[in-house]
Structure 1
Amino acid sequence: MALLNRVQAYYPTVTLWNRLEGRPRSENFERAVKAQVRDALWMLSKQWQMGEFIGDDAGSPVLAKAHMETTRLTKYKGGSADAEALEQEIPLEVKVEHQAIAFKQGNTEISLDIRLLMGRQWLKWATAIDPAYRQAYIDKYGIRNNVQPDPDAEADATICAHRKVWQQFAAVTGRRMDGYRLYVYLKENATPAHKASDGITLANTQTKKDVLDGLGAKFIAWYEKLYYQPNEVRKNESWKPNYLEHQFAVSAPQKGKEKVLTAEEYYHGHLDWYNLDIDQGDDELETGTPPQDVEDKITHAFVPTSVTFGGMPHPRWWTFENWKTNLGFVNPDTTDLNKLLLLDFFLTYSNDWFIVPFTLPVGSLAKIRGLTVTNVFNEKIWVEAAGRGDDENWQRWNMFNLNVKGTDHVPADLGAVVLPTSRKVQEGKPLEEIFLLRDEIANMVWGVESVVPLPTGKGHRGKEVGYELKAKLQQLIGDVVPPDTLTDNLAKIRFRVVNSVPENWIPFMPVHIDGQKRQIQLQRAAMPRILENDDRVPKKVEPKTSLLRHGLEKSPKETYRLNENEVGRSGTRIKKNFQRTRWHNGEVYNWVGIKKENGRGEGSSGLAFDQLIPNKNRLADDG
């Protein structure tokens, strides 16, 4: 024995056992596959080792009874607008996100695709009454008033600078109807009210005119149902350009008062419960209408069901788990707390979690007032919420509960909200996309228009659009004037005050907040468009996206200021596109929404001042 220990000291060994398996010593496998166990004490020892003999309140639940109070969201307030009733037949994200479709940019009519769509729909209805109405409405409501784009006119440079855009406008001008112009005419508040038959000089009978006027109301309803967007009755002020976020509030009646939920930083594109906070400082959203009776109390008895999922640890030691779920492939980062919690639940707990089913209507707030569980020993257990306590207690653990706005030490709210939001939203290609980034070399912030809307209604690369427009304007200047050989252009170098940057780079300059000496905001500025041999005062390069044109469409034009903390070191990406979803009643909603994401970091525009550069126009060589 001493010799064996001495040998192990010089040659240490490690013994491992991976699995227990039968080793057959004959060709008969019948006894081996039975996996017989001859040592019952060993099995009892393993059960003791795994803690299976330790039990405390181990009775399984057989009956549960819950008492719940419910209410429903009935009011909505977007931004600084007045509160209004919350329609249950509209998804909440549509109500919050919808923006107006831009049909004009400066002096240029855009969104040609929707104008043609509306025109085709009207002509389809009108020609069913009389085929002669087709040309009559094209003559009155033609694209661009039936005037072809002039490639030699600076006013049409936005269209003619892009070959495909010019081709599309040339193909439909004088041949197709602008349905949006008819829509605007019918919606104008005039006395007497505008009618669809106004200005149509065909030999109309009164019967045909009445039918056309009836189609006008149908046309308005058709378009407003096709695209959900603001109008004179339904306004949306939830989008805050200074913060690049949506701000809104909803409320529900509760015991004679109102429970107000506010969202001050919604920009994710997917609206859910975690975007809202409980605002105890606001008792009511004033709408001028009496509160609705939507509160209810429900007592429900049911049998709890064990929680099961693929790959869960099995309660018995010798039972294999489902191989289809491999939790080892989940690779969370150290900051992915949700994944870490989920993995800990998957790998630690098995048969000691139960589901308490409770069906709630869409758009409701619910709070469990009492929950009792009866186990197999006929013991009744009163279950309290895990997240109860002070709302500011950082050690309090809960899930799916709303945060109470502010830092006051108030009791935590234990209710749950089921928002009336859609499960899936389809997004189209970006109509507009901008990147707000910091340029440390130039010491300023830029709004880079990555995708800009063309007059046809489609988005295109902003850099190409800027180059093409500048090249077209340079072409309209005319021939290059030769320099004066006696006085100018004799030096090898010349002084340049400032260079140019691509036209899709819009500068933002720091300015002081009114009444503040230290805090600043970012104010939209403009670069001059410098064209060679142009003796006119350079014009400012205006943004081509509605995201950066805030205030330019108003008369007089307004300044656009952006909070500085909205542009971090990683930058900010904002995109605007068409979105589509189907509600639970089968209704389809299309709208234009805005979404904000993290950017791509810092950038450099190449802007430089006070440069000495080679003189390309030099006529003589002194060397």
Structure 2
Amino acid sequence: MPSITSWTRLEPRARTGDLRPSLEAQVHDPAWMLARQWQLGEFLGDDAGSPVWVRVRGHADRVTRYRPGPAAGPGVPYDGAAPLEALAEAEPGGPRSTAADLRAGAESGQHLLRLLRAADLPADAVADAVTLLLDDYPLGLTGQEGAADEATARYLTVLRGRVPDGNAVAFTLHASPPTPAEPVWGLPPEAAPVLEAWLAWYDERHLTAPVTGPDTWDPQRLEYRFSVGLAEGTAETTLTAEAYQGGTLDWTDFTAAGATGLAPAPARTPLLSTTFPAPVRFPGMPARRFWEFEDARVALGQVEAAPSDLARMLVAEFATVYGNDWYMVPLDVPSGSLTTITSVVVGDTFSSELGGPTLLPLPGAGAGDAHWSLYSLGTATGGRRTGLFVPPVTAGSLESEPLEEVLLVRDEDANLAWAVERRVPTPHGTTLDRAGATPPAEAPAPPPAGTLAYRLRTEVPANWLPLVPVEPRPGSYRLRLSHLDGATPLGRLLRPGLPGAYELFAEEVPREGLTVTRTHQYARGSDGRGVLWTARRTRPGRGGAASGLRFDVVEE
């Protein structure tokens, strides 16, 4: 027979909603004070031991392989010296790469000549080498001088024939490193250290991705994608950043997977730490004991939480009920590693009476509350991977003004999306403001009085490039870059070097728009050396925009 269980519950009924009189704990007599202590559990001795020491054991497996792009393969070795976001964001390099502009090539070439002339080398050999460098690596735009602007032409007039292109020289030395046994450009073997020092200086100032291999930047998704690999004993673990949009790289950008062919080298660091635990505290947190003097910043009577304010109620509950049950145990882990905890042993004030220290369950190893953990990596199958991943990134970097800026917007009036080039880089290292440099379209001559004039469409600025929706296959929509009146993009963001027309997925341009920029970034690696690279960022836009484009216009 089914039964009905009932019970009686006692609930307090307050005369007002103000908690301050009760929290004041006004003392009327000692018996009342003892009763209040008993009511708040001050005399409760169940599970009242306090931790005295904590011993943590584990291991940290360092990242040893890096693979750009989504392709499979072993990747390249990674030693952690260069920050990971710098390596992933760096643009592909080459002898005439736009990642290093004309000004950078001139400055690096001038520095090479300065080092050669200052070194203790025969003057005749240095003079012959300088002549060969100027002939073999001339400073220029590789046959595009006719398309250069006036400022670039003046820049080349001053420097052409006086300094070589340092970008092309570095590309040659990377392909064939200088050695004392094989002198280059007629230099004696003693010049090899000079060339090596110059190449190290160049690499520090111009961090570029490898010329061969896939690019980490996906122009159709406007995001980076790369992977790193580490060896956990004999098992391989791959951590993939599927959709890194630039900026601050953190562990949340990675997804864990099994072996993918990266073949990382084992690099394990054992971890052992015995320390004193510290209670978890934060400013404004109430005291742990009821009769302890409170901080003046505590005002629990002013905590207001609606039924939907779950986060605020959780913080208040943690501060008032569970705060004294949490302790913090510091553990130093190496950067660029995946840390796994193998055991946590706690010694408390009751250890001698209860038979010794307590071995705690590992994070995520139990059920219910014991399964709870933080900083767990997601997996490709939707599961969770325990362990703390600390990516080898910079604490902060210096960012230049945008070298290039493109605004992607929706134009509901014209039923189009637009790529608006606001800023583009010039060959000699400056920035051109296309919004201010683009002359307004000439208005057509008005028709004679009393007549009508038909116009196929209105004019739009030359830096507004239309993104026409196309459907390459059913259900998949893309935005294809087109042009009006022969207008073409001048920057690199809209010319990624892909074969055919430039397309991006339609969902990448939301209603609020998107801003894509290229900037110089400067930071220091783990060895203290400076790193300079060119990165791309995607940020929210400024809403929709109106280009003024209209079709089939009849004017009087």
TM above 0.5, one fold? yes
1:265 matched residue in structure 2: 243
1:545 equivalent in alignment to 2:545:
no
1:358 matched residue in structure 2: 331
Measure the CA separation in 2 of the matches of 1:593 and 1:423. Answer: 16
2:434 matched residue in structure 1: 462
* Distance 1:185-1:402 versus aligned 2 partners, 3 A rule: closer
Measure the CA separation in 1 of the matches of 2:26 and 2:448. Answer: 103
Measure the CA separation in 1 of the matches of 2:246 and 2:339. Answer: 25
* Distance 1:340-1:356 versus aligned 2 partners, 3 A rule: same
1:240 equivalent in alignment to 2:218:
yes
Equivalent residue runs for 1:401-550 within 5 Å: 401-407=376-382, 412-467=384-439, 492-513=451-472, 516-528=473-485, 540-550=486-496
Q: Which amino acid is 2:454 matched to?
A: F
Q: What is the CA distance between 1:266 and its match in structure 2?
A: 1.0
C-alpha contact (below 8 Å) 2:522/2:531 kept by paired residues: yes
Percent of aligned positions that are identical: 28
Q: Which amino acid is 2:387 matched to?
A: G
CA deviations 1:415-457 (Å, max 9, x no partner) are 2212212211221111112221211111121112222213332
Measure the CA separation in 2 of the matches of 1:124 and 1:323. Answer: 65
1:27 matched residue in structure 2: none
1:384 equivalent in alignment to 2:361:
yes
Measure the CA separation in 1 of the matches of 2:174 and 2:338. Answer: 41
Look up the SS of the partner of 2:149 in the other structure: helix
Look up the SS of the partner of 1:467 in the other structure: coil
Q: What is the CA distance between 1:489 and its match in structure 2?
A: 7.0
Equivalent residue runs for 1:291-306 within 5 Å: 292-295=265-268, 298=271, 300-306=273-279
Q: What is the CA distance between 1:175 and its match in structure 2?
A: 8.2
2:11 matched residue in structure 1: none
**Of 52, 60, 63, which aligns to 2:50?**
60
Q: Which amino acid is 2:323 matched to?
A: S
1:590 matched residue in structure 2: 532
Q: What is the CA distance between 1:345 and its match in structure 2?
A: 4.3
* Distance 1:51-1:512 versus aligned 2 partners, 3 A rule: same
2:3 matched residue in structure 1: none
1:223 equivalent in alignment to 2:176:
no
2:84 matched residue in structure 1: 92
C-alpha contact (below 8 Å) 2:108/2:166 kept by paired residues: yes
Q: Which amino acid is 1:87 matched to?
A: D
Q: What is the CA distance between 1:258 and its match in structure 2?
A: 0.9
Look up the SS of the partner of 1:502 in the other structure: coil
CA deviations 1:173-220 (Å, max 9, x no partner) are 558535346527845979xx9x9986xxxxxxx7x6666787555444
Q: What is the CA distance between 1:329 and its match in structure 2?
A: 12
Measure the CA separation in 2 of the matches of 1:587 and 1:89. Answer: 9
C-alpha contact (below 8 Å) 1:65/1:371 kept by paired residues: yes
C-alpha contact (below 8 Å) 1:244/1:596 kept by paired residues: yes
Q: What is the CA distance between 1:275 and its match in structure 2?
A: 0.8
Q: What is the CA distance between 1:498 and its match in structure 2?
A: 1.8
1:179 equivalent in alignment to 2:154:
no
CA deviations 1:155-181 (Å, max 9, x no partner) are 44x513xxxx36963773558535346
- In the alignment of these two chains, the number of paired residues is 526
Q: Which amino acid is 1:541 matched to?
A: A
1:315 equivalent in alignment to 2:283:
no
Q: Which amino acid is 1:549 matched to?
A: R
Measure the CA separation in 1 of the matches of 2:229 and 2:63. Answer: 6
* Distance 1:582-1:338 versus aligned 2 partners, 3 A rule: farther
C-alpha contact (below 8 Å) 1:122/1:179 kept by paired residues: no
C-alpha contact (below 8 Å) 1:501/1:606 kept by paired residues: yes
C-alpha contact (below 8 Å) 1:98/1:236 kept by paired residues: no
Q: Which amino acid is 2:111 matched to?
A: Q
Q: What is the CA distance between 1:49 and its match in structure 2?
A: 4.1
- Structure 2: 5+ residue runs without aligned partners? 1-14
The structure that has the greater radius of gyration is 1
Q: What is the CA distance between 1:591 and its match in structure 2?
A: 0.9
Measure the CA separation in 2 of the matches of 1:426 and 1:189. Answer: 31
* Distance 1:572-1:212 versus aligned 2 partners, 3 A rule: same
The 10-residue stretch of structure 1 (540-549 or 223-232) with the greater mean CA deviation from structure 2? 223-232
C-alpha contact (below 8 Å) 1:139/1:146 kept by paired residues: no
Q: Which amino acid is 2:215 matched to?
A: E
C-alpha contact (below 8 Å) 2:140/2:156 kept by paired residues: no
Q: What is the CA distance between 1:125 and its match in structure 2?
A: 2.5
* Distance 1:491-1:17 versus aligned 2 partners, 3 A rule: closer
Measure the CA separation in 2 of the matches of 1:549 and 1:134. Answer: 37
* Distance 1:105-1:65 versus aligned 2 partners, 3 A rule: closer
Measure the CA separation in 1 of the matches of 2:130 and 2:251. Answer: 53
1:283 equivalent in alignment to 2:259:
yes
C-alpha contact (below 8 Å) 2:224/2:246 kept by paired residues: no
Q: What is the CA distance between 1:271 and its match in structure 2?
A: 1.0
Measure the CA separation in 2 of the matches of 1:118 and 1:332. Answer: 61
* Distance 1:606-1:347 versus aligned 2 partners, 3 A rule: farther
Q: Which amino acid is 1:79 matched to?
A: G
- Structure 1: 5+ residue runs without aligned partners? 1-12, 21-34, 150-154, 199-205, 475-479, 529-539, 615-623
Q: Under a length normalisation based on structure 1, what TM-score does the superposition of the two structures give? A: 0.71
Q: What is the CA distance between 1:138 and its match in structure 2?
A: 10
Q: What is the CA distance between 1:57 and its match in structure 2?
A: 0.6
Measure the CA separation in 2 of the matches of 1:331 and 1:119. Answer: 66
1:118 matched residue in structure 2: 108
Q: Under a length normalisation based on structure 2, what TM-score does the superposition of the two structures give? A: 0.79
* Distance 1:185-1:582 versus aligned 2 partners, 3 A rule: closer
Q: Which amino acid is 1:39 matched to?
A: D
Q: What is the CA distance between 1:294 and its match in structure 2?
A: 2.6
